[in-house]
Amino acid sequence: MKKHCLVILSLFISASSFAQMKLIRKMLSNEKDTTRKASFLPIPSFGFSQETGFEFGVGAIYSFYVDRKDTLNRSSNFSLNTTYSTKKTANLTLKGDAWTKGNKYHFIGDVRFKDQPFNFYGVGNSTQKTDEDKLNQRILKMLFDAEMNTLPKAYTGVSLGFENHRFTDKEIGGIFTTNPQITDKDGGSVAWIGASQSYDTRNSNNYPTKGFFGRVTYQYAPDFFGGDNFTGSQIKVDVRNFISLAPKVVLGVQGIFYTIQSKSTPFYLLQQMGNDQVMRGYYSGRYRDENLMAAQAEIRYRFMNRFGIVAFAGTGKVFTNGQFNGNGLKPNYGLGGRYFFDPAKGLSVRIDYGIGEKLQNEKRQSGFYISLAEAF
């Protein structure tokens, strides 16, 4: 009987080891899947940013082509991510990016919930570390865009959104409490309705190696909620271009301009500089104001189908309406690595380290990030 048990246990261990080795070989294989079949990947979710610390949780990614026979049909991607971090951040994100047959229609959905402590430094492009004030924020954001192909490579669409923000001051007496210019300190709600126009010649929506992308979105927030809740509008401009410098080397450049217009804009709706996509290396919200402009360039070297490295650099600033100039631009630069878990579709996990400016009597600003998909 013992011998039989040992034999069964040995077979179980062997089968388990074989399955693990098969999975490892698949994850490290340099072969590209040309069948264009759907992929589903339930994964332990992890990440890092200077705002949240290390994040741990579970997630899943589902990617597919609506028309597998059409090699120009773009991949549709859906992801679910729920995490908790070392800085006590609870995060839930559900994202969708869907393309119909012939890329005739494009749908974007994004739902986010976050309960997070964060550091507030005031408003403007010259905030100081010494003014750091600790708050807690609870945010619910929902966005839905629908676009239709109206002209060759051009898409016209509608944009709907909703945001709810709540704040608690954890250190009474700091800049958040004493600065009279900071409005709606307990938070509020805003609903957006707008339109978008884009032009897209990229050869991939996940990992482009050539082509141009430009998108302008206008959103208006009517007085739905009354009281101190926001009423006004915002415009977002995002322009990107990709050039293949060599068979495995791509140069990507991006420029953005975001502006919000209102008689009175709550601090939490001001444009914020710094995250894992634009101006990497700066704490998100360290600098915030009515306008944000930034530009970045990234050289991507994908030396294997599964692996790549990048070098990036950029500059940007925030400023008040009517005070645009070239002064006060802040630098950023850094390096990163890429692992492509779906090489055919260009879906990746990325690790980036960004470096920012060094202010007097402060440590040089920097940030380390672990994220899904390319920065732009």
**Cβ neighbours of 71 (radius 10 Å):** 9
- The continuous run of DSSP H or E covering 168 comes out as strand 154-169
Residuewise pLDDT in 10s, the chain (376 residues): 555 555 555 554 554 444 445 445 555 665 655 678 898 878 777 667 667 778 788 888 899 999 999 999 999 999 998 989 888 889 999 999 999 999 999 999 999 999 999 999 999 999 999 999 999 999 999 999 999 999 999 999 999 999 999 999 988 889 999 988 888 899 999 999 999 999 999 999 999 999 999 999 999 999 888 777 799 999 999 999 999 999 999 999 999 999 999 988 999 999 999 999 999 999 999 999 999 999 999 999 999 999 999 999 999 999 999 888 889 999 999 999 999 999 999 999 999 999 999 999 999 999 989 888 899 9
pTM for this prediction: 0.86
CA neighbor of 281 nearest in space, from 173, 368, 372, 154 = 368
- Any residues with CB less than 8 A from the CB of 14 and at least 6 apart, and which? none
Residue 291, token pair as written in the block: 């306008």
CA atoms within 13 A on the CB side of 27: 11
Domains of the chain: 2-27+42-372 (2.40.160.50)
Measured between alpha carbons, how far is residue 64 from residues 36, 60, 108, 339 in Å?
8, 14, 15, 19
